[in-house]
Amino acid sequence: MLSVRKTKLRRQALILSMAPMVDVVFLLLIFFALVTRFASAENVQMDLPKPEHSAAQNVQLKDRVVINCRLADPGDIGAGVLYSVGPYPPESLERISARLVVAKKAVEDLKVVIRADRRLPFAAVRVVMQVVAENRIEMMNLVAHVGEGE
Amino acid sequence: MTQEGHQLNAATLQARARSRRQRHIRRQRSSALSVNLTPMIDVTFLLLIFFLVTTTFEKPEGLFAANLPRDSGLSSLALPISPIVVRLTAEGDGCRICIDNFTRVPASFGDLADFLKNVQGNPGFDDQTPVVIIAEDTLAWDHVVGCWNAAVRASCKNIAFGTE
């Protein structure tokens, strides 16, 4: 009789209710599945400008070329600047200009989006603007964060 | 053994057999109802960990349209007669804002936006009046975009970059 009670007690002690854990796990899974947006390869991660009360428009442009201007070393402002077109690796401004020529031939109404690190000197971005202007591309867009800045 | 003893034994055996049958039926029923959740939980955890590791919360990005003039480069901008020229110079980590032909020196880009908005009410100025931003080469891009943003906030329609 005593042994039967002991066995029952042991069995009860081992029972683990999985339902709340599964509930929480599913809740988290649904949350992450809904909020996740896979990063676009053409938008290289960088510290974009954060203007006060940003009036930047969140629009999706068709027929665009994204030019990324970022610091060679994110921790060192004097380390130089890397320029890249969309998902391509960093390359020279001449090469970028050649890419723009090809893109302009394919799409007459080509738009250029310049994404530049907020810490870059203006001169580093101005050279890109000059390349864009030399290729007679009129539609240029500057990227900044939307919403309140610092 | 007495007859009573035999009857008792038979009754006990019958009761045991009944209880064994009932236990067997119960076990069968319970096994039919149980679903093995382990693989599902495995997959769920795998997905959860994947999302946890890959998710980076990013701030939304927006665009400022900065259209370039047709058939000309930046240095050859055809400036209209009375544009508002905003000059930006680096001052430590900050930025100094000066406006040509105006004595007022805006302390911040918010102040500049208010100024540009107020200027539009004056004779000879409106939202079509060009605003030309001339920035120092060493000035951080953040300040240049801040200035552009101030002009956009002031509803200026013609904003351009200029060079000395």
What ranges do the domains of chain B cover? 3-54, 74-161
Return the pLDDT at B1.
52
Return the pLDDT at A93.
92
Q: How many CB atoms neighbour CB A97 within 10 A?
A: 15
pLDDT over 50 (residue B73): no
pLDDT less than 70: residues of chain A: 1-13, 39, 148-150
Interchain contact, B70 vs A136, CB within 8 Å: yes
Greater confidence, B115 or B30?
A: B115
3-state secondary structure A93-138: HHHHHHHHHHHHHHCCCCEEEEEECCCCEHHHHHHHHHHHHHCCCC
Greater confidence, A1 or B44?
A: B44
Please check whether residues A15 and A68 belong to one and the same domain: no
Please check whether residues A17 and A83 belong to one and the same domain: no
Return the pLDDT at A150.
44
Return the pLDDT at B78.
52
pLDDT over 70 (residue B31): no
Name chain A contacts of B41, Cβ cutoff 8 Å.
18, 22, 25
Nearest Cβ partner for B146 among A51, A121, A132:
A51
Query: Smallest Cα–Cα separation from A65: which of A97, A112, A126, A99?
Result: A112
Assigned domain for A77 exists: yes
Query: Smallest Cα–Cα separation from B99: which of B113, B114, B88?
Result: B88
Please check whether residues A24 and A75 belong to one and the same domain: no
* Predicted confidence band of residue B2 (pLDDT cuts 50, 70, 90): low
Q: Percentage of chain B with pLDDT > 70? A: 81
Which strand (E) or helix (H) includes residue A143? strand A139-145
Name chain A contacts of B152, Cβ cutoff 8 Å.
55
Interchain contact, A118 vs B71, CB within 8 Å: no
Closest approach of chain A CAs to the CA of B54, in angstroms?
9
- Domain B74-161 in CATH 3.30.420.270? The answer is yes
Assigned domain for A97 exists: yes
Q: Name which of B69-73, B96-100, B125-129 the model is least confident about.
A: B69-73
pLDDT over 60 (residue B138): yes
And the tokens for A9?
């007690």
pLDDT over 80 (residue B60): no
Assigned domain for A50 exists: no
Greater confidence, A143 or B29?
A: A143
Nearest Cβ partner for B138 among A121, A132, A134:
A121
Nearest Cβ partner for A51 among B67, B139, B145:
B145
DSSP3 helix / strand / coil % (chain A, rounded to 5): 40, 25, 40
Determine the average pLDDT of the residues in B51-78.
68
ipTM: 0.75
Choose from B34, B111, B149, B157 for mutation: most chain A CBs within 10 A. Answer: B149
Please check whether residues A74 and A28 belong to one and the same domain: no
Assigned domain for A133 exists: yes
The CA distance from A41 to B153, in Å, is 31
Give how far the C-alpha of residue B4 lies from the chain's centroid of Cα atoms, to the nearest Å: 87
Return the pLDDT at A97.
93
Closest approach of chain A CAs to the CA of B103, in angstroms?
24
Q: Which domain holds residue A28?
A: 2-35
